[in-house]
Amino acid sequence: MKHLLSAADLSYEDAILVLDTAKQLAAATEQGVGKLPPLRGRTVVNLFYEDSTRTRISFEAAAKRLSADVINFSAKGSSVSKGESLKDTALTLEAMGADAVVIRHNSSGAPHRLANAGWISGGVVNAGDGTHEHPTQALLDAFTLRNHLRNGEGDLKGVNVTIVGDVLHSRVARSNVLLLNTLGAKVRLVAPPTLLPYGVEDWDCEVSYDLDASLEGSDAVMMLRVQRERMNAAYFPNAHEYSNRYGLNVTRMNRLSENAVVMHPGPMNRGMEISADVADSQRSVIVEQVANGVSVRMAVLYLILGGSESM
């Protein structure tokens, strides 16, 4: 595979290959060998048109740990604010010899355009496009689930994952539903009807409006941020009402089975979709998700930039 644009691009074998490669790279990093050499002399450009903390830093750390040269581009402060198009920005990157471009964009489909328009010759990795997809987030979530529920091996057959909250605006939810299905997990989305996307009945998952009825039997509960910056209308009466019905608090968390984990892609609205004591509890794997993000992105860059036949 040359690009990673959607979680649907990953066959079962590809997904397992990324997770296994990430596991090996994480082990090598833990042994303290310092930087690994495979991407020496290659250039990775982080092209970020939208704000990001975790994802941008994570891709940068991943590329640097593999010895790549990294160029960080953020739209703010660049010629994009002078009206430069994606095409002209892409041609500039091509002229500078980018081997891979990691792109986050507020328009759904921008990474596909970049990969398929013929403007650049390198690989393209989607780091989040609009409300569409965020495949490396789904991979790091799968990696985290596999570590906790499957001893870091194989797939997620039979694992029950409940994804809760603002599914409508979430690229994390869509990518997770796709990848979790590929890996054999069962997914249930829980949200108020106003925060479910049009056509969700065609997604490969269950849908419920009732969080309390969905806790028992979940092996993992993934809380989604309420994305106020993408909301142009009132989707629920008020914040208090939302957390009463869809927030994960300690009372609800205590109803989960013994080994179940709590996840959140970040950034969190503490007190809204997740209470502070749940976010900081023993069951929370939120900080691990961030750490695993680096290993998974190392694997993706490694495989796309020439590490394997299959990807």
Q: Smallest distance, Å, CB 178 to ligand NCD?
A: 15
User: Measured at CB, which residue is nearest to ligand NCD?
Assistant: 225
Residue 171 interacts with ligand NCD (CB under 6 A)?
A: yes
Active site annotation includes 55? yes
> How big is the site for ligand NCD, counted in residues (CB under 6 A)?
11
298 burial (CB, 10 Å; 0-12 / 13-18 / 19+) is: buried
Q: Identify the residue among 38, 109, 197, 266 touching ligand NCD (CB under 6 A).
A: 266
Active site annotation includes 104? yes
- Do 126 and 111 contact (CB within 8 A), yes or no? yes
Three-state SS at 51: coil
Degrees, nearest 5: CA angle 74-77-80: 75
Which residue of the set 43, 55, 131, 182 is catalytic?
55
Q: Smallest distance, Å, CB 158 to ligand NCD?
A: 27
User: Of 120 and 139, which has the nearer Cβ to ligand NCD?
Assistant: 139
User: Of 40 and 230, which has the nearer Cβ to ligand NCD?
Assistant: 230
Cα distances from 308 to residues 35, 300, 302, 303, in angstroms, run 20, 11, 8, 5
- Between residue 96 and residue 135, which ones bind ligand NCD under the rule CB under 6 A? 128, 134
Dist CA 113 CA 109 (whole Å): 6
User: Of 55 and 275, which has the nearer Cβ to ligand NCD?
Assistant: 55
User: Of 225 and 297, which has the nearer Cβ to ligand NCD?
Assistant: 225
Dist CA 79 CA 169 (whole Å): 28
Torsion of CA 260, 263, 268, 269, to 10 degrees: -40
Active site annotation includes 105? no
**Residue type present at position 40:** R
Q: Give the interface with ligand NCD as residue ranges (CB under 6 A).
A: 54-55, 128, 134, 137, 171-172, 225, 227, 265-266
As annotated, the active-site residues are: 54-55, 82, 104, 134
